Every structure is written in structure tokens, then in C-alpha cells.
Structure 1
């Protein structure tokens, strides 16, 4: 079972998510009502995925994402919120979120998202993907993209990058392209270096901004 921590300021929402995930054989090992308490719970429970709301009093979701990055905590974060504002989506992704879903998702969609992130993939709600892409292309340059010389990707690396953008994990990419998982990991590492990206999500953002992905 995948170990998950749920961070949301509403007790009823946290308990509801726990109940749904328990049915889906996902182990909720901790809960927190804001970012500061989340850091304590995460340190004590070492989850594999963090479910994070954005709008919380005191220490909100963006603060939490930035603090996790500052502390070098690389546990994948799935933002689960009622807000689909473009600027919030981009802020969350740029701060390190690996997934972004709205709270109207089904249990199956939420469970799949948890498994996708635990396997190393990324996932963004289809309902906001088109708007997010437009915002990326017309908005500010992703962090550092303007100062890094983008190196040309091979056709195979582009194939891997396209599947990364669709939320595929390394294992799923390997199966789709008939490659060894170790080979896919090497391709992903090379892609990050060539794009000057700190992680998979940042690589996709930069590739979109540069027009490598369409």
C-alpha cells in the first residue's frame, strides 16, 4: 500500500479523503491542517506521496511546497484543491508540485494519481491542462529557462519527454517504448540536464515554453 499524508485545513475534507483512500487500499499515515504541522507529520511518517491543499490559513500550500524544496524533501506532492486559477496552477508547479487535481475527481482518478506520482510520474487535471499550456506560453519564462542554453534533444528523448508530459512513470514509458526501465531513467536524466531542469515537472514546463512540446 502506498503511504500518503493528507494536508488540508478542513477536518471533514481530510477525513473524507482518508475514508475514500482506505477503500482504495491507499494507506493514509498522517494528516495536517497547515504547512507547518505538515512538515512535522511528514518527518514522523515518511510518506510516499503528499496530498496538499493550496488555500490554508497561516502556512498555505505554496509555502509548504517551497519549504519542502528548501529542506531537500523530494516526496512527490499532489495538489488537491477546489481552485483552478491559472496563476495558482503555475505557482504550484513552479514550486515543485508533481500533480494538480481538483476535488471533484472520482475515487478512481484520485487513486490513479497517487499511484502515478508514487511511480515517478506527473499528472495534471485534463480540465485545466489547455488553459495551463496557454498561460505557460504567454506568461513569464519558467525559472531559469532564460539563462540556460537549451540543448537539442534526440528523437528518442523527445518521445520520452512527451510521455513524461502525459504523466507516464518510468515503468510505463519503458513499456510504451519497449525499453528497459534503466534506459528510460538514463534518458530522463539526460533530458533534465539538456533542459537545465531541476525535476520532471520543470522539464515539461521548459519544454512547453521553448516549443519543444506542442
Structure 2
């Protein structure tokens, strides 16, 4: 079941969006009408998808809020907004949204915009999770190894860079995989590193 957080300060619009989602998709929803409520909901719900207004009548825009939340959580975002000017769209695109829907939004627009993202969510395991904080999870050597993996270094090259044996590096990689609950085959660790390289 996909968890959706609707961040919209106009409750009538928020309720309309919620009603359309619940009638069209297998999902659970929650509405946040302020930045404060959105932060609380993220912690409690860890949503897969945010439908976020840009102008929140708050001390922070929807774009700034999404940028902040991306430091801690993995999610997809669709902006639903009346902003059509180029600079706002460029700012929004910097947060890598899954879609950008212009208000006033109707049932067909909303369904089309969300359907594409729902397919993507079902194929991405990490969406809807709190992000790992490497500083808390890994020791200094493990963080160095992850950074070198990010730089596409082989086990042998990592061993040379850190003045350790390849066997020791393999042990460290095994421990890192165990901490992340990753399978050791299929380049799972490399995929994780590339997905969360901004955290390293």
C-alpha cells in the first residue's frame, strides 16, 4: 500500500486531492496544512509520495521543504501549484520531482500525473524509507571504503589507497552489507552507494 502525504494549505483542495487518490489508487493518505505538520507527518508516516504545493503561506516554500526533507527521507514528489513562471519551475526541477501539475487541477490531470509515479514507486525498494546516516552507522574506514566504491574503485585499488590487504577490504564490505541489510551479490552495495552518494 503506497503511503501518500498531501502538503497543501488550502484544506478544500487537499480534501479533493485525497478523495481522488483514495478512489483511484491503493494508498493511504495524510494531509499536512503547514510545514510543521508536514515534518511531523514525514516522521510518522515515512511516505512513498508527496503531493506538495509550492506556495504554503508559511515561512518556507514547498520547494525548500522538499529540499530539507530529502536530506532525511527517500520519496517521490509531485508539485501541484499555480506557479507557471520559468524560474519557479527551474527551482522545482532542481529537487528532481516526478511530476509538476498546474492548478486548477482536475480528476483526469491528477490521475495521469499520479499513475506514472505509482508505477515508478512499485519498482523502487528504497522509496518510503528514512535515509541512513553514514556518520552514525559506519566507522571512518567504512566511510572511506564507501567513498572509494562511489569513485568506481575495485577492491584491489581500495586496498592500495587505504594501505590494507584486499582480504581486509572484503571483510569491511561484508560488514557494510550486513549493516545495510544488503545481499552481497548483484552489485547491491555499488547500487546503494550510487543511489545515496550525496550522503557520503
Range of TM-score over shorter length: 0.5 to 0.7
Give ranges in structure 2 of 5+ residues lacking alignment.
125-185
The equivalences for 1:79-158 within 5 A come to 79-103=79-103, 104=105, 106-118=109-121, 119-120=123-124
Q: Which has the larger radius of gyration?
A: 2
CA separation in 2, counterparts of 1:102 and 1:48?
A: 21
By how many angstroms is 1:26 displaced? 3.8
CA separation in 2, counterparts of 1:102 and 1:114?
A: 16
By how many angstroms is 1:27 displaced? 2.0
Output the TM-score relative to the length of structure 1: 0.52
CA separation in 1, counterparts of 2:82 and 2:116?
A: 16
CA separation in 2, counterparts of 1:25 and 1:46?
A: 18
CA separation in 2, counterparts of 1:82 and 1:73?
A: 26
Output the TM-score relative to the length of structure 2: 0.55
Change (3 A) 1:33 1:113: farther
Residue 66 of structure 2 corresponds to residue 65 of structure 1: yes
Q: Report the aligned-residue RMSD.
A: 3.2
- 1:78 corresponds in structure 2 to 78
Give ranges in structure 1 of 5+ residues lacking alignment.
121-181, 199-214
- 1:7 corresponds in structure 2 to 7
- 1:46 corresponds in structure 2 to 46
Say if 2:48 and 2:74, in contact at 8 Å, map to a contact too: no
CA separation in 1, counterparts of 2:26 and 2:85?
A: 28
- 2:144 corresponds in structure 1 to none
Q: Give the number of aligned pairs.
A: 134
Change (3 A) 1:54 1:107: closer
Runs of 4+ in 1 over 6 A off after TM superposition: none
